[in-house]
Amino acid sequence: MTPALSSSSSSSAAAASQRLFRCTASLRRTHAPHRSPSMSPPPRKLKLMAEIMVKAKYAVLEREDYDDVRCEKCRSGDRDDELLLCDKCDKAFHMKCVSPIVVRVPIGSWLCPKCCGQKRIRSFSQKKIIDFFRIQKCKDAESPYLSAQAIKHRRRLRSLVWQKKSRRLLSFLPSEDPDRRLKQMGSLATALTTLQMEFSDDLTYLPGMASRSANQAELEDGGMQVLSKEDIETFELCRTMSRRGECAPLLVVFDSCEGFTVQADGQIKDMTFIAEYTGDVDYLTNREHDDCDSMMTLLLAKHPSRSLVICPDTHGNIARFINGINNHTP
């Protein structure tokens, strides 16, 4: 016969059973579920390293020793403070050996020209370059404008004091080698094609933007500067040479950090006319919230609604890439 329990002993036994129940319940939650011996773990899916490298943006390759690092261009290990290591291929380049040169150590990651990820554009043939820029061949033997040799001769006749005193515009001297000029124009055609732009040496007025009648000199706040007769002749001479394919000695190059920039491919004197800034003309009010960094003021009117800007989004020339324009992103 089981003895009877008092109320105090029964309550303590119930509390002990509750504590025991809570303890056993917590153990059940933390233990792994029982697996039968016949069940085997699922096979792990492993990928080949080559497959991972193809899909990955880039993987930093680390060397065990960097004492024998040499520049891939000049094959020299000197000036190690100027050596840049590519974050993709881990190859080294001097800051002055890459094109364009790097004037300061980049902040963050840096990729060499081969690893920058820019799509390669097939080279332009001579015929395609002529068609791209709509170059006009001279039919007359005697051109109404001076040739490059005549320009050199005219510059020699001028005294240095007269040039500094007048501060007139000088026309550029194109490269004498025709093959070199084709390479210069080919670099510009590559940059424009990459940005899906069409070459234009004139201002373009498209529907939905500013009309041609909106570009009036009397609307300019403070008046318009008038070119002298000599500067107008220089301007027309440069435009004529550009139409003939005698471009300014400039080369458009690509950098993974700076984007497309322009390098001088020959000696250029001070006050030399290079190119006229061209593109699509639009009202400034329509572009107030535009994040494009390549717009140029065309007309600054007293009323802001009449002010005009040049936007080389779809049309433009080499001026689009000069003087650090569009240098924060490819």
Per-residue pLDDT reduced to its tens digit, 87-97: 888 888 888 88
202-212 per-position pLDDT tens digit:
999 999 999 99
Provide the pLDDT for residue 38. Answer: 58
Question: Considering the domain boundaries, does residue 312 fall inside one?
Answer: yes
Question: Is 40 domain-assigned?
Answer: no
Which among 59, 87, 104 is the end of a domain?
Answer: 104
The verdict on 97 and 182 lying in the same domain is no
On whether both 92 and 200 belong to a single domain, the answer is no
Share of the chain above pLDDT 90, in %: 27
CB-based contact 97:71 (threshold 8 Å): yes
Domain count, the chain: 2
Same domain, residue pair 188 and 298:
yes
The answer to the question of residue 45 being in a domain is no
Average pLDDT over residues 42-51: 71
Q: Could you give the angle at the alpha carbon of 152 between the alpha carbons of 148 and 155, nearest 5°? A: 135
Tell me, what CATH number does 76's domain have? Answer: 3.30.40.10
Distance (Å, rounded) from C-alpha 287 to C-alpha 311? 9
Instruction: Kindly state whether residues 94 and 176 are assigned to the same domain.
Output: no
Residues 173 and 317 in one domain: yes
Q: Is the pLDDT of residue 156 over 60?
A: no
- pLDDT of the residue at 327: 46
**Please, what is the average pLDDT of the chain?**
76
Instruction: Kindly state whether residues 91 and 189 are assigned to the same domain.
Output: no
Return the amino acid letter for 309: V
Q: Is the peptide bond before 100 cis (omega within 30 degrees of 0)?
A: yes
Q: Are residues 263 and 181 in the same domain?
A: yes
Count of Cβ atoms closer than 10 Å to residue 325 Cβ:
19
Question: Distances in Å between the alpha carbon of 115 and those of 66, 87, 264, 279?
Answer: 20, 9, 25, 32
Does pTM surpass 0.85?
A: no
Q: What CA–CA distances, in Å, run from 130 to 124, 134, 186, 189? A: 10, 6, 10, 10
> Which contiguous run of DSSP H or E holds residue 241?
helix 229-243
pLDDT, tens digit, for every residue of 162-197? 444 557 899 999 999 999 999 999 999 998 998 889
Round to whole Å and give the CA distance between 19 and 25. Answer: 10
Asked whether residue 195 falls in the same domain as residue 296, the answer is: yes
Note whether 197 and 316 are same-domain residues. Answer: yes
Statement to judge: residues 79 and 196 lie in one domain: no
Name residue 310's beta-bridge partners: 281, 296
Q: Which residue has the higher pLDDT, 34 or 176?
A: 176
Average pLDDT of span 14-27? 46
Asked if the structure places residue 67 within a domain, the reply is no
Distance between CA atoms of residues 85 and 259, nearest Å: 19
Q: Would residue 314 count as lying in a domain?
A: yes
Q: Are residues 96 and 190 in the same domain?
A: no
Domain that holds residue 228: 169-321
Among residues 58, 84, 104, the one where a domain terminates is 104
125-144 pLDDT per residue, tens: 778 888 888 787 765 444 54
pLDDT at position 256 over 80: no
